[in-house]
Amino acid sequence: MSIGFIRQALTALQKQSRRCTSYRVNQWFKWLSPGLAVKRWLLISLSGVLLAILGLAIWVKLTPIFWGIELLRGFLGVVANILPHYISGPVVLLCGVLLLLWGQTRTVGSITQVLRPDGEEELIDVLMAYRRLYRGPKIVVVGGGTGLSTLLRGLKTYSANITAIVTVADDGGSSGRLRQEFGVLPPGDIRNCLAALADEEKLLTELFQYRFKAGDGLIGHSFGNLFLAAMSDITGDLERAVAASSKVLAVRGQVLPATLSDVRLWAELEDGRCIEGESKITEAGGKIVNIGCIPADPPALPAAIKAIKEANYIIVGPGSLYTSVIPNLLVREIADAIAMSTAPRIYICNIMTQPGETDGYSVADHIKAIDTACGQRRLFDAVLVNKKSPSEQSVVRYAEQNSHPVFLDREDVTLLGRRIVLANVLHEDTTGYVRHNPQKLARVLLRWYSRSHHRAGKNISS
């Protein structure tokens, strides 16, 4: 009984040892992967060592080197007399390789311990992920609200070259209070995007999203909003404040306001009313027939225009149609830059209609609203539509709030000249709350981009 147990234990230890050895060997060989820019520097370092030894030998007229070589030759001669060359050679070679691997492992381990003290990931895995992300496509995402931050959480696993262009028309909640009391641009949507793009800085992200529940004048404010407001005052404008915050949060990519102007939305309703203020438009509860902003033609942030011109891929939405997506496109320079871009462009349609904003809207209605706001120009080539219907529980829950799944009217969308990308990108929590799934959404978007990029390459070559 005891012998059998010992044998089982030894077998388990051997398997574990083989797994560990295989893992370590695999990690070593990763350093030879192409594109890491490591092998060239190791070769240059080795060349430097050899040149240093040669220079030292020339400097001392080769005398110590000569006697050292003679001593080594005598030692090797003695070894060869005791052991034949076909045994002593491989043994010495094996010892040298083992010493080299041991030294390199300990070196890399020491560096990893300093750079990654938590030890969650190997340094080579971090380096390979870094190279992969920073070689990803240059993606520009235009929108605002929770929809945009949801999308960014998924995209940041595919590319670090992300630029989120965010609306600054918000005038409700904490952002509205800061805008009214301190005259700063609303930081709420920007804060959400910064938190979404943060690179594993869990504690800092939670701090940035923390909302005060007590305190005179603090209730309802988020720490991130207050931080960005203070940074705007210190640095002089919101663009510099966002750049400084991005460094603190280790953000993958960049977040840019669409404009630095104090923009206010207005909407003309079907019943003739004209509503001013982003938060009041939805509350008015009428059908929007026209939308604009004050000032009528705000200047775009130059960095945002530069990002659009250099983009490999442009994504519009998701988000509230009239209060998150269209406000960015009311900045004429941004709409012009998107219209002139030759990069693949896609619009992500919302899953549910929004009460007081898109009541009864179909997919084609969403597209028409964007086209109308941009002077009947086509800013995107395709529209991504969720194909899986929400559960009955969610449909009933949303119906109570006069919200319903957005209907796909295929013929009308096709007549508008847009390709339809159907995919299951729905996420539904236990309470029936419906949102886009960040990972599924990003995966579908990158797959469509790859196909579009491949088709464009074929057209150019032909």
Give per-residue pLDDT as tens, 302-344.
Answer: 999 999 999 999 999 899 999 999 999 999 999 999 999 999 9
More confident of the two residues 370 and 29: 370
Query: In the prediction, which pLDDT does 10 show?
Result: 45
- Whether the per-residue pLDDT at 378 is higher than 80: the answer is yes
- Spatial separation of the C-alpha atoms in residues 389 and 395, rounded to whole Å: 9
Return all residues near 160 (Cβ < 8 A) that are at least 6 apart: 130, 133, 134, 136, 252, 253
Q: Bridge-partner residues for 211, per DSSP?
A: 222
Residue 42 has a pLDDT of 67
Weakest-pLDDT range from 21-30, 196-205, 255-264, 308-317: 21-30
Note the pTM of the prediction, 2 decimals: 0.76
Better-scored residue on pLDDT, 456 or 211 = 211
* CB-count burial class (<10 Å; 0-12, 13-18, 19+) for 376: exposed
* Dihedral (Cα; 76, 81, 84, 87), 10-degree rounding: -50
Calculate Rg over the CA atoms of the chain: 30
DSSP element (H, E) containing 148: helix 145-155
Question: Does the pLDDT value for residue 121 go beyond 70?
Answer: no
Of residues 169 and 60, more confidently modeled: 169
3-state secondary structure 263-321: CEEEEEECCCCEEECHHHHHHHCCCEEEEEEECCCCCCCHHHHHHHHHCCEEEECCCCH
Tell whether the model's pLDDT for residue 11 goes beyond 60: no
pLDDT > 60? residue 430: yes
Report how far residue 279's alpha carbon sits from residue 327's, in angstroms, rounded to the nearest whole number.
13
Least confident residue range of 62-66, 70-74, 250-254, 377-381: 62-66
Calculate mean pLDDT across residues 255-271: 92
**Cα separation of 439 and 63, whole Å?**
67
pLDDT at 408: 96
For 131, half-sphere exposure in the C-beta direction (CA atoms, 13 angstrom radius) is 13
Instruction: For residues 417-435, give the mean pLDDT.
Output: 92
Range from 140-149, 243-252, 306-315, 442-451 carrying the lowest mean pLDDT: 243-252
pLDDT level of residue 5 (50, 70, 90 thresholds): very low
Q: Minimum mean pLDDT among 73-87, 263-277, 336-350, 407-421: which range?
A: 73-87
- Residue 305: predicted pLDDT: 97
The yes-or-no verdict on residue 449 having pLDDT over 90 is: yes
Residue 41 has pLDDT above 80, yes or no: no
pLDDT value for 33: 62
Which of residues 234 and 3 earns the better pLDDT score? 234
Strands 313-316 and 139-143: parallel
User: CB within 8 A of 450, min separation 6: which ones?
Assistant: none
Confidence of residue 112 (pLDDT cuts 50, 70, 90): low
Q: What is the mean pLDDT of residues 259-280?
A: 91
Q: Is the pLDDT of residue 168 over 50?
A: yes
Structure tokens at 114: 């300093």
CB atoms within 10 A of CB 319: 28
For residue 421, the one-letter residue type is V
Which tops the pLDDT comparison, 330 or 452? Answer: 330
